[in-house]
Structure 1
Amino acid sequence: MIIIPSATPISPSDRAFNYGDGVFTTLMVNEHKVELLPYHLSRLEHDTAAIKLDIDIHTLETAIAEQVSAIKNASDENASKYVLKVHISGGQAGRGYARSKDSETRVRFSQHPHPSHYDSLADEGVTVICAQTRLAIQPLLAGVKHMNRLEQVLVKHEVEEAGAHDAIVCDTQDSIIEASAGNLFFYLNDEWYTPSLKGSGVNGVVRQCLVDSLLNDNCALHVGSYDLSFLRKASAVVITNALMGVMPVKQVRLTDFSVVDFDVKSDAVAALKARFNIAVGSGQ
């Protein structure tokens, strides 16, 4: 495994560039501390194993810490709240799709501003559509945050065309899977529900954190298959990811042009936000 300096140009023979042969994760750094770092590392370890990449997770953890420290100590002013993206590539060259036997996994980092509009949206809630684009079912890659993101590119195009904030995305069997760049939770009759990711979708770190927290506290949580009609029954819907945390949905535009409205200030949403904030504050 090689750590590549951020300023190094991407090689035309890089396998992530050519084939999407790699995985990534997006870290939320706040006050120079990475939120949910153990969950990010656990997922990277899982995802690289899923696509047969070798990494040293301890070396990677050290490299992340060094990157955060370098940004903190940089001579120019750097915000204490930013995004740090970790890219892990299958290396360079290889014959066609096959990796070269001596190709080493390559890791690079990139720093980005935190999306400031998330703060206001967290109070107002977001409007989402139901995407026409469907996610392919591939159990071997289910849950993996790999670099093949064309489905999400198509979904985002739909979102922008509709003037919405995000989309609810189903698989080819019409089961709800996730949002364009986050996971989904639904609240119904004092119980939380989240879609199964056995066939497709990304197992986000906030999703996994909340699943663990709810189950550890013996809270009612259901993981299963739900179609769009389930949205009419739910009293609350949230989108989760590492940058937005727990984002309430205020309205869903269904495919029959009807809409479903939700209370973004409900006690259930507030409690889930509080649960997430406790997890982040504890350094999980």
Structure 2
Amino acid sequence: MRDAKLPIDDRGLAYGDGLFETVLVRDGQPLLWDYHMARLDEGVERLSLPRPDFTAFDALPAQCGPGLQVLKLMLTRGSGGRGYRPPEPGELRWRWTASPFQPSPERWFEGVAVRCCELRLGIQPRLAGIKHLARLENVLARQEWQDDSIAEGLLCDSHGDLVEATTMNLIWLRRGRLETPLLDRSGVRGTLLSALDDAVELHWVREDLDTLLEADAAWLLNSVQGVWPIRRLDDACGNPLKQWPPAVDCAIQRIAHRRLGYPLNPGD
């Protein structure tokens, strides 16, 4: 059902008891659709939600309209239960909406400034990787800065290990290897990150901020925005920690943008 309101007793609204996906759609064609549906399927299994008819979702992208759109699909456990105790059996509720989208090409080619967040992500392996509705940690982290020149904030977990940015994944190049944080304790395994993992040799590592400062280049990425090179990293107080030159060839951006239909060079 499109844009329908949720009742006040919906468990997704009350407890974050559900999942969502945000899918880039170009002229009615979804990008990375199989990866989105695979992550949604895993989330349904992890949360023990009533299993949806996934074929019902296949018709949604064509209803999004022309041009670039972002399709948001949300699943909840529905209503019922007693307090935190879920209903047995539950009745899945799902809603969707589509919004026009305009990417930021200057961030693809000029890079972005990023800061470190003070907030630390909690460790919960059962929720790691999936895109559940309980995103309060990300909301609190995003409240830490209001400067529009800062594009994103990097998040570590409570052990001090790098995880992700508030809405994007992180990859860096160090000693000739492409590395990305392990997402087995917290964070979201993005669909573009999964697609790149199938296309190039990514090394999944558990490392702290000092490792990132050793990197020769670093990028942020997700399936809507594409790939942003990081040009400057600041600490939580705005003090510069690292600057990267713009000259590093970005093979991962070329691969990713081909998948998303984004330009490979300025002016394309």
2:64 to 65, 71, 77: 71
Residues in 1 aligned to 2:5 and 2:103: alpha-carbon distance in whole angstroms: 30
The normalised TM-score by structure 1 is 0.86
Verify the 8 A CA contact 1:231 1:260 in the aligned structure 2.
no
Matched with 2:50 is: 54
- 1:274 to 1:161, Cα distance in 2 relative to 1, 3 A: closer
* Equivalent residue, structure 2, for 1:274: 254
Paired residue for 1:151? 137
User: Runs of 4 or more off by more than 6 Å in structure 1?
Assistant: none
CA contact (8 A) 1:176 1:195 kept: yes
More helix as a share of residues: 1
Change (3 A) 1:230 1:255: farther
Change (3 A) 1:241 1:96: same
Residue 275 (structure 1) shift: 1.6
| CA positional deviation for 1:161 | 5.6
Relative to structure 1, the CA distance from residue 261 to residue 18 in structure 2 (aligned partners, 3 Å threshold; closer, same or farther) is same
Cα drift, residue 55 of structure 1: 2.0
Q: Cα RMSD (Å) of the superposition? A: 1.8
Give the superposition deviation at 1:279: 3.9
Equivalence for 1:96: 83
Q: Which residue of 2 aligns with 1:227?
A: 208
Say if 2:207 is the partner of 1:211: no
Specify the SS of the correspondent of 1:168: strand
Letter in 1 for 2:185: G
> How do 1:130-209 and structure 2 match up within 5 A?
130-160=116-146, 164-209=150-195
Deviation at 1:246, TM superposition (A): 1.4
**Pairing 1:82-93 to 2, within 5 Å after superposition:** 82-93=69-80
CA distance in 2, matches of 1:278, 1:121: 17
State the distance in 1 between where 2:40 and 2:156 align.
25
- Deviation, 1:263, is 2.7
8 Å Cα contact 1:168-1:178 kept in structure 2 = yes
CA contact (8 A) 1:254 1:260 kept: no
Structure 1 residue 255: deviation in Å? 4.8
CA contact (8 A) 1:131 1:169 kept: yes
Task: Tell me the number of residue pairs that the alignment of Structure 1 and Structure 2 aligns.
Answer: 260
TM, length-normalised to structure 2:
0.91
Tell me how far 1:236 sits from its aligned partner: 0.9
Contact 1:159/1:166 (<8 A) preserved: no
Q: Aligned partners of 2:67 and 2:167: how far apart in 1? A: 24
Return the alpha-carbon distance in structure 1 between the equivalents of residues 247 and 25 of structure 2.
26
Matches of 2:104 and 2:148, distance apart in 1: 19
Question: Deviations 1:86-131 (Å, cap 9, x if unpaired)?
Answer: 10101112111112124311111011221x2522221221111010
CA distance in 2, matches of 1:97, 1:55: 20
- Aligned residues of 2:162 and 2:206 also touching (Cα < 8 A): yes
Q: Deviation per CA, 1:52-72, whole angstroms, max 9, x where unpaired?
A: 11223xx32x33332222333
Unpaired runs of 5+ residues, structure 1, are 73-78
Structure-2 residue corresponding to 1:39: 35
Gaps of 5+ in 2: 262-268
* Structure 1 position 262, deviation (Å): 1.4
